[in-house]
Amino acid sequence: MKDHFRQSMAWLHTWLGLLFGWVLYFMFITGTAGYLDTEIDRWMRPELPAARYPLPQDAAIGQAQRYLQTHAADARRWSITLPIDRNEPWMRVSWQAARGMPPAASGNAYLDPVSGQRLETRDTAGGQTLYQMHWRLHYLPDAVSLWIVSIATLVLLIALVTGIVVHKKILADFFTFRPGKGQRSWLDAHNVASVVSLPFQLMITYSGLVFVMFSFMPLIATAWYGPGQAGQDAFLDEVFPPLVSAKATGRPATLVSLQQVHHDAQSRLGAKPIGALEITNPNDAHARVQVVGSFAAGPLRATDILAYDGVSGEWLSARRPWQSGPKAFRDSMLGLHEGMFAGAVLRALYVLSGLLGAAMIATGLVLWTVKRRQRVERGRGTPHLGLRGVERLNVAVVIGLPVAIGAYFWANRLLPVGMAHRAEWEVHALFAVWLLMFVLAAVRPPARAWREQTLLAAIVFASLPVLNAMTTSQHSAHSLVAGDLVMAGFDLVALGVGAMFFGIAWAARRRQRQPAPC
């Protein structure tokens, strides 16, 4: 009885893993890269100065207001983001044009907080795009990618649970890793990677599902709120009640000094940091200002929001972080998933766990092929198209994707700065190189392909600091001296990643020369 259960769970685990492994690997790699989005942003925009935070906010707000008033006086909405931690290292303003205006009328800009001048940077997709690929994939309409990602996440949850169920000797096998034994070693590696980071994997998967639960399970809302879009909207309105509802009157009025609003907010919030100001209908009689605290103060991804009348500066209402149990549960899940609250050490742990998740998937995929390849070698079967296809897909995805991301960074440095649609072309470069990796994997025998692509990855990453030095003035030594740790850090990490791939390539070559022990 128990045996049948375990067998069927093993079958489920294997096939779900195989079908969705590549998508999930992509999500883990882009998720981990996206976790370091502002650091990557910084490297991809070398024109920006080193970030300094937290920033003295008073003067900065004054400059921001002046800039927005000059450049976007008739916008529908303004937003000023203040640097308080690594999540938003530079002051950024954005403006949303009035309805009916072309999209080009909206925009955003990094501002120098002292001079109020716009900081000019190259048009780049930055770390933000890598981050967004984590759930939007790319080249696909949003609805489609949402479904793929949602289903993949659910599959991951099922795979994790079935994996635990199937791992018979999970306690006895703890800490076990026996290298050099072929299939046994790959199984050990798969087990170790998964078990060692299990709390994180379960958390990240479940919280990922919470992120998409409104679209994934709309029928539940329908049960309470009625069918159709109206029901969904009513539900969302109750979960996220608008703090201030104000339609523009069309009557012009002077916007209150934001510094004054800021002072009042500070007196109400005490020591809690202020992260942003959102202004609706600026220069209108019904202007409203919302002062937003920090979303990264703790695992709960919610914060104080204070609403003010935009003309008189009078305080109107407030929303506190805690609304209700279930909402707080959702906010905690989102907060844990995004990990924005984490300090330096915990961030490193998040990155480590993310990479282990990717390793968990990669070792699983390789294990599948090794097992079947061994069966073929023992004469118990023929290498059918499926096995050959998977062997090649594995290389192209597991190693090819990092190569493509490396190429993305190369493109950032090599594409001419004034080029049209530069940001889009950086991303095209990523996928073009990835496609090339697929082609290479298809035409080369898998063993060679592993070595070649790993070497390629090693070269692409290890030479990034050199490329940086040749194309900008901020090479590693300069950054270290200037105290721009993020810039220098990126270069060093790239070097480290390159070294890691060299190590893998070397290990793969060594195993090729030795006959595998039977």
Partner 1 sequence: MLTALPLFGLSVLGMMAIALAMERHHDVLARRWRGRRARCLLRLVGWVLLGSALLYAVDRVGRVQGLILWLGMLTPSAVGVVGLIAGRHARATHRATHG
Partner 2 sequence: MAAVLGGYALATALPAAIVAIMASGMGGMARSDAVLLAMSLSFVVYTGAVMWAFAARSARAAWLGLGLPALWAGLVAWMLL
Interacting residues toward partner 1 by CB under 8 A: 172-179, 192, 195-197, 199-200, 298-299, 336, 344-346, 349-350, 352-353, 356
The window from 186-194, 261-269, 323-331, 416-424 that contacts partner 2 (CB under 8 A) reads 323-331
Tokens of 123: 């048009």
Determine if 225 is a binding residue for partner 2 (CB under 8 A): yes
C-alpha 27/C-alpha 358 separation (Å) is: 9
Total residues at the site for partner 2 (CB under 8 A)?
34
C-beta separation of 400 from 98 below 8 A: no
Q: Report in angstroms how near the CB of residue 330 gets to partner 2 at its nearest.
A: 6
**CB contact set of 497 (below 8 Å; sequence gap of 6+):** 402, 457, 461, 462
CA neighbours within 13 Å on the CB side: how many for 356? Answer: 20
353 binds, among partner 2, partner 1, none (CB under 5 to 8 A by kind): partner 1
Q: Segment contacting partner 2 (CB under 8 A): 53-61, 67-75, 324-332, 374-382?
A: 324-332
DSSP secondary structure string for all residues of 477-498 = HHHHHHT-HHHHHHHHHHHHHH
Q: Give the long-range contacts of residues 450-456, CB within 8 A, separation 24 or more.
A: 450/395, 450/399, 450/508, 451/505, 451/508, 451/509, 451/512, 453/395, 453/396, 453/399, 453/400, 453/403, 454/399, 454/501, 454/504, 454/505, 454/508, 455/501, 455/502, 455/505, 456/399, 456/403
What's the closest the beta carbon of residue 236 comes to partner 2, in angstroms? 9
412 binds, options partner 2, partner 1, none, Cβ within 5 to 8 A by partner type: none
Of 214 and 425, which CB lies nearer to partner 2 in the complex structure? 214
The secondary structure of residue 313, as a DSSP letter, is -
Query: Smallest distance, Å, CB 214 to partner 2?
Result: 7
Q: Which two tokens stand for residue 45?
A: 């925009």
Q: How far is the CB of 482 from partner 1 (least distance, A)?
A: 22
**Secondary structure (3-state) at 98:** coil
Amino acid, res. 392: R
Give every strand in the sheet of 305-309, ordered side by side: 107-110, 92-96, 77-81, 274-280, 288-293, 305-309, 315-319
Binding mask 435-464 for partner 2 (x = CB under 8 A): ------------------------------
Of residues 50, 105, 158, 355, which one binds partner 2 by CB under 8 A?
158
DSSP conformation class of 129: H
333 contributes a contact to partner 2 by CB under 8 A: yes
Binder among 52, 329, 389, 445 for partner 2 (CB under 8 A): 329
CA–centroid distance for 127 within its chain: 8
Binding letters toward partner 2, positions 231-250, x by CB under 8 A: ----x--xx-----------
Does the footprint of partner 2 cover residue 20 (CB under 8 A)?
Answer: no
91 C-beta neighbours (distance < 10 Å), count = 25
Task: State which of residues 30, 162, 281, 474 lies at the interface with partner 2 (CB under 8 A).
Answer: 162
Stretch that binds partner 2, among 157-165, 362-370, 373-381, 382-390 (CB under 8 A): 157-165
Residue of 26, 32, 40 whose CA lies nearest to 409: 40
Say whether residue 5 binds partner 2 (CB under 8 A). yes
What is the nearest approach in angstroms of partner 2 to the Cβ of residue 210? 6
What is the nearest approach in angstroms of partner 1 to the Cβ of residue 350? 7
Q: How far is the CB of 206 from partner 2 (least distance, A)?
A: 7
Separation between Cα atoms, residue 368 and residue 385, nearest integer Å: 14
Asked if 287 contacts 65 with a C-beta cutoff of 8 angstroms, the reply is no
Which of residues 50, 97, 148, 157 is near partner 2 by CB under 8 A? 157
Question: Closest approach of Cβ 463 to partner 2, in Å?
Answer: 43
Shorter beta-carbon distance to partner 1: residue 192 or 423: 192
Q: Between 194 and 453, whose beta carbon lies closer to partner 2? A: 194
Is residue 330 involved in binding partner 2 (CB under 8 A)?
Answer: yes
Cβ contacts of residue 355 below 8 Å, gap of 6+? 28, 32
Where does this chain touch partner 2 (CB under 8 A) — which range of 22-30, 75-83, 185-193, 207-215?
207-215
- Least distance between partner 1 and beta carbon 65 (Å): 35
CA 396 – CA 403 distance, rounded (Å):
9
The distance of closest approach from Cβ of residue 406 to partner 1 in the complex, given in angstroms and rounded to an integer, is 25
Q: 420 CB contacts (<8 Å, ≥6 apart)?
A: none
Binding site for partner 2 (CB under 8 A): 4-5, 8-9, 11-12, 154, 157-158, 161-162, 165, 206, 209-210, 213-214, 217, 219-221, 223-225, 235, 238-239, 324-327, 329-330, 333
